[in-house]
Chain A
């Protein structure tokens, strides 16, 4: 045993069979693969997008690493970075919530989600990436608020929204206010939908609880990373409540694909290319903005607004997505 190398290069590990030898845990080291026990240097991990070069196990990534990866190393513009967790309930379990937040912040992240404007393969978009390392990726007020601001920025810039999810669910220490963040993300997605902008979800390990039961389930296109656990109730809760014996692959991305809950399981190393291609497919051809707005308003019977729109070329598409409410009203009894 002692002759097993602790640190070896990717080149030497490549070709080694993933099923060779019994699993051996190297305690306390986030750079050893929990599945095949291979161990990597930090720069090897980064070069391979935090995927095991031997068995393709997908390691956790921080939100910053996610954004760097998708942006291809280009700088990104953070949204809502000034927001930090508060303690509305003055919550104490085994430890005060403020202390938990302080310890999590000390590790370098500011919250369990980071949102940013960036380009993936030349396609401009807004990405909201979650970080399981920050209090289990739990969704509290800051996560909900940053997600909502990300959607609003996507609307303002007329670009798609992408979210990479990794979360244990709602943040219990913020009580019912954490639960309400589920509804807040729904409101944000409704605004995105009204602006006719796509929402793409990438489910990373694990995506559970209130995050899966809100925005993570509502992607227009939904990808998942290999081996990601995706569930509303985790396996432990189910086994405790129903005394069912669950299969080993319960809730894993590959099973969710079989059951029709995701569109594709995608290796992380291919994500930038695949997302870039998807965004390129979804991109609308340029249109005469003013013309289109005018005709839409005219259809709704608002001729005066149509004349104004003719005089304002270049009005954003955001306005075009909005007439639903007005048009519904203008079809009231006085008009039809």
Chain B
């Protein structure tokens, strides 16, 4: 079990560094595409990789108690710095067989309902919640639709918003569409240095907006879904550094850096009175967006 690293994991100083690197200029396609490749790197740590390093004592829970268990979402409770902590995350597979088993990290309604089952437990037993986001989106399938994919995502967001315990959402890989945001309505939303967060995957956008799936690079450049940009827009509260070269190079170090941020964020949130924490959580999402006002309308 690693100990909290008080100095190295804090996002603030680092954010200024990488935000400076992007310098407010338009990201050129190469930069964004590199980030997307890193965010999807097949050796990148997934939730179970972080969990095994941060919480050796972890009990994974299975099933939504309604219909089935969705391997694309892992959920459970573990011991973290001397207290219980709940974790929910989208899990991808590393080899072909595992990828298929995890459905490429695309959750079904059962996955979100398993998550909600855990959220309810967190609320009742006063256990803080961390979500680890890494998905190309919720699974697009006819039976997932019939079983209420849209409603499951909406209810997951609502339940997270209402939780009385501290919550931290970490985008650890690719955060795409409502399938990602379903686990993203937290007190703090942070992104790993090479993670991306977007309304849709670049391939999906290319097929719809450019009517050509091969235009994914163009789409990526247009969306600019990098951690630095999301921080600038207020979508991410902090950017957590990764080991030199990316999180896939050294899982232990990636987990240690995340641990530094997480342990501190949970402590800070626990110090806030409940009413204040909930007010801030609401306000955080209430203010996001960009519009103009015209007079005389």
Assembly CA distance A240 to B142 (angstroms): 12
Contact of A244 among B141, B149, B207, B219 (CB under 8 A): B141
Number of A-B contacts (CB under 8 A): 201
Q: How far is the CB of B225 from chain A (nearest CB, A)?
A: 6
Cβ of A238 < 8 Å from any Cβ of B? yes
Cβ of A14 < 8 Å from any Cβ of B? no
Given contacts A89-B223, A183-B184, A190-B162, A145 and B291 within 8 Å (CB-CB)? yes
Task: Kindly supply a per-residue 1/0 record for chain A positions 84-110, scoring 1 wherever the CB is within 8 Å of any chain B CB and 0 otherwise.
Answer: 111011111110000000000000001
Considering the complex, which residues of chain B in the window 137-185 have a beta carbon less than 8 Å from any beta carbon of chain A?
138, 140-142, 144-146, 148-151, 153-155, 157-158, 161-162, 164, 177-178, 181-182, 184-185
- B154 and A176 contacting across the interface, CB-CB below 8 Å: no
Q: How far is the CB of A309 from chain B (nearest CB, A)?
A: 19
Q: Which of A141, A212, A232, A325 has the most CB of B within 10 A?
A: A232
Cβ of B210 < 8 Å from any Cβ of A? yes
- B225 and A187 contacting across the interface, CB-CB below 8 Å: no
Cβ of A184 < 8 Å from any Cβ of B? yes
- A177 and B290 contacting across the interface, CB-CB below 8 Å: yes
What number of A residues sit within 8 Å (CB to CB) of B? 69
Tell which of B6-14, B67-75, B239-247, B280-288 binds the partner.
B280-288
Cβ of A160 < 8 Å from any Cβ of B? no
- A172 and B209 contacting across the interface, CB-CB below 8 Å: yes
Contact of B151 among A210, A217, A241 (CB under 8 A): A217
Given contacts A176-B198, A186-B157, A148 and B286 within 8 Å (CB-CB)? yes
Cβ of B95 < 8 Å from any Cβ of A? no
Residues of chain B within 8 A of A177, CB atoms compared: 233, 235, 288-290
Cβ of A137 < 8 Å from any Cβ of B? no
Assembly CA distance A187 to B181 (angstroms): 14
- B199 and A325 contacting across the interface, CB-CB below 8 Å: no
Residues of chain A within 8 A of B286, CB atoms compared: 148, 184, 187-188
- A329 and B274 contacting across the interface, CB-CB below 8 Å: yes
Contact of B161 among A84, A170, A173, A190 (CB under 8 A): A190
Residues of chain A within 8 A of B82, CB atoms compared: none
Task: Kindly supply a per-residue 1/0 record for chain B positions 185-219, scoring 1 wherever the CB is within 8 Å of any chain A CB and 0 otherwise.
Answer: 10000000000011110001101111100000011
Contact-residue bracket for chain B:
35 or more
- B222 and A92 contacting across the interface, CB-CB below 8 Å: yes
Which single residue of chain B is at the shortest CB-CB distance from A78?
Answer: B297
Assembly CA distance A9 to B178 (angstroms): 46
Q: Which of A148, A186, A240 has the most CB of B within 10 A?
A: A186
Assembly CA distance A71 to B173 (angstroms): 48
- B291 and A84 contacting across the interface, CB-CB below 8 Å: yes
- A82 and B293 contacting across the interface, CB-CB below 8 Å: yes
Determine chain A's interface SS by DSSP, over half rule.
helix
Contact of A242 among B141, B161, B200 (CB under 8 A): B141
Which single residue of chain B is at the shortest CB-CB distance from A247?
Answer: B142
Which single residue of chain A is at the shortest CB-CB distance from B213?
Answer: A240
Assembly CA distance A1 to B184 (angstroms): 57
Residues of chain A within 8 A of B148, CB atoms compared: 217, 259, 261
Residues of chain B within 8 A of A84, CB atoms compared: 291-294
Cβ of A311 < 8 Å from any Cβ of B? no
Residues of chain A within 8 A of B157, CB atoms compared: 182-183, 186, 214
Which 8 residue pairs are nearest across A and B when measured between Cβ atoms? Answer: A141-B289, A233-B140, A325-B275, A88-B290, A217-B154, A212-B150, A93-B209, A232-B150
Some 11 contacts from A to B, beta carbons below 8 A apart, are A89-B223, A142-B289, A170-B200, A176-B233, A179-B178, A182-B181, A212-B150, A232-B153, A233-B141, A251-B145, A329-B274
